[in-house]
Amino acid sequence: MTSPQSDREKVVSKLPAALRQPLKVRTAQLGIALQDAVAEGITAWRALGSNLAAIDTSGAESFSTWLPEGQWDQFRTDASARGVSLIQGLAQSVQLWLDTNPAPTVERPAVVERKVICNQKGGVGKTTVSAGIGQAYAEDPEHLYPVRVSKQMTDTGLDADTADLPGLGRRVLLVDFDPQGHLTKQLGHAPLNMEGDTLAKHMAGDKDCGDIRDLIVAIGGDQFGGRIDLLPACQDAFLLDIRLSGVRFREAALERALAPIEGDYDTIVVDCPPSLGLGMDAAVYYGRRRDGEKPGKSGVGIVVQAEDSSADAYSLLVSQIEDLRSDMNVEVDYLGLIVNLYDARRGYIATSSLEQWKAIKDPRVVAVIPDRREQREAVRLKEPLLAYASNSEQAANMRALAREIA
């Protein structure tokens, strides 16, 4: 059979499942076409001076690919001359390619990336966005997951194409900075006791605070592999602004509290409260660009909805951010606008509001996230969305957003 590429032909053989999935993942990790990897493996196998150890090919299933014209016939001849079946020879070729093309190591940032997710308006979905991108950063790099095509991230969210990509494999800390504790509860944990140690007390510089690591809890899920943790909320954060009013250089309070654990993580996602107080100043300052850090790696992501009240809240938040940038002479990058819970069926208000958000340009709209039932179900069940509905459209959306603001 002739390939759309005139110099290739389709071949059909069999390959064990134990090799099919690693081949698919590795080629995705390295950005190599699967057909090219198989061709390279066969070329390397044919060049060997002796046969490799036999591979268990029991249960091998049909496997097809496109190879350079004539390569399969040459491979067939070599396999016969060396007394090796085609299935065994192909398995050895694939294994040889895997052995000589190891998986790339997860790149660790020199400066921990800080994603501050905020808006002073409640109910826009800051918590679900924070949880979703945090989970996406932590997924298994040895497994493929559906990811929404990035060029479609700013459309209406309907009928989006996806691509299977490896997880990002980052070490992630989710910080529930909202005294209401929605992030903590959504992930199945209890808020911290006000009588004990809390993030707010660390920020206020209480002398009797212990090690902040003792407050952190792990988020379960096989695909996360122990790479994602949560710093739970506590209701004492309702009094944070009062506590911070007497703290020296209060804008750096969150940074001072989290500094001892920053080295344990690649990405820290801060789910902010719906307020514009001193705590918000501390969160924005925490997300500023640090010395030696590339623009856009850390910063502020603003979650909005396609309706009028979000616009009013957005204006107040941006004003606060700009004042902080000016007063403190710091660079605070906007990660972008995230239009959440979008539903075009709500009519003109939704569609026209979306166009108004897109017209802002700076910060630009980086994602339009539709309203989907899987998100609500995961919240009700107190499970991570990407573990509860890993193959859902909403999970694909969160993975795409995480990559867009990475």
Run of H or E including 375: helix 373-381
Residue 281 maps to a domain: yes
pLDDT for the residue numbered 158: 57
165 and 133 in one domain? yes
Which of 77, 100, 123 is the last residue in one of the domains?
100
Q: Which domain holds residue 255?
A: 113-404
By the 8 A CB rule, do 50 and 83 touch? no
253 and 232 in one domain? yes
Residue 361 maps to a domain: yes
173 and 43 in one domain? no
Residue ranges of the chain with per-residue pLDDT less than 70: 1-6, 151-152, 156-159
Could you tell me the CA-to-CA distances from 366 to 22, 31, 293, 298 in Å, in that order? 32, 24, 21, 15
137 and 20 in one domain? no
Structural domain total, the chain: 2
By the 8 A CB rule, do 303 and 271 touch? no
Residue 1 maps to a domain: no
Residue 105 maps to a domain: no
Burial profile 125-153: b = 16 or more Cβ within 10 angstroms, e = fewer: bbbbbbbbbbbbbbbbbbbbbbbbeeebb
206 and 85 in one domain? no
274 and 210 in one domain? yes
35 and 145 in one domain? no
Least Cα distance to 253 among 281, 214, 212 occurs for: 281
Give the separation between CA 293 and CA 333, rounded to whole angstroms: 11
Tell me the CATH number at 381: 3.40.50.300
Which of 100, 121, 141 is the last residue in one of the domains?
100
Residue 3 maps to a domain: no
Tokens of 111: 């400066």
Tell me the CATH number at 63: 1.10.1220
Measured on CA atoms in the order 194, 196, 200, 205, is the torsion positive or negative? positive
pLDDT for the residue numbered 6: 65
Contacts of 144 by beta carbon, 8 Å cutoff, 6+ apart: 24, 25, 28, 164, 165, 166
Residue 270 maps to a domain: yes
Least Cα distance to 355 among 154, 57, 141, 177 occurs for: 154
Give the separation between CA 26 and CA 32, rounded to whole angstroms: 8
215 and 314 in one domain? yes
127 and 91 in one domain? no
Least Cα distance to 180 among 313, 271, 115 occurs for: 271
Residue type, 360: I
pLDDT for the residue numbered 1: 35
**Residue 188 exposed, middle or buried by CB count within 10 Å (0-12, 13-18, 19+):** middle
Residue 2 maps to a domain: no
- Count CB neighbours of 230 within 10 A: 23
Measured on CA atoms in the order 277, 282, 288, 291, is the torsion positive or negative? positive
Least Cα distance to 274 among 118, 392, 394 occurs for: 118
In terms of DSSP H, where are the helices of 10-169?
A: 17-30, 34-46, 71-81, 86-100, 126-138
pLDDT for the residue numbered 307: 85
Which of 100, 131, 153 is the last residue in one of the domains?
100
Cα-to-chain-centroid distance, residue 281 = 25
Tokens of 251: 């804008």
160 and 232 in one domain? yes
67 and 183 in one domain? no
Contacts of 102 by beta carbon, 8 Å cutoff, 6+ apart: none
Give the separation between CA 404 and CA 336, rounded to whole angstroms: 9
Give the separation between CA 137 and CA 172, rounded to whole angstroms: 7
**Residue 336 exposed, middle or buried by CB count within 10 Å (0-12, 13-18, 19+):** buried
For tokens 């199945």, name the residue.
188
Contacts of 103 by beta carbon, 8 Å cutoff, 6+ apart: 25, 26, 29, 30, 141, 142
118 and 31 in one domain? no
Residue 108 maps to a domain: no
Run of H or E including 358: helix 348-360
Run of H or E including 216: none
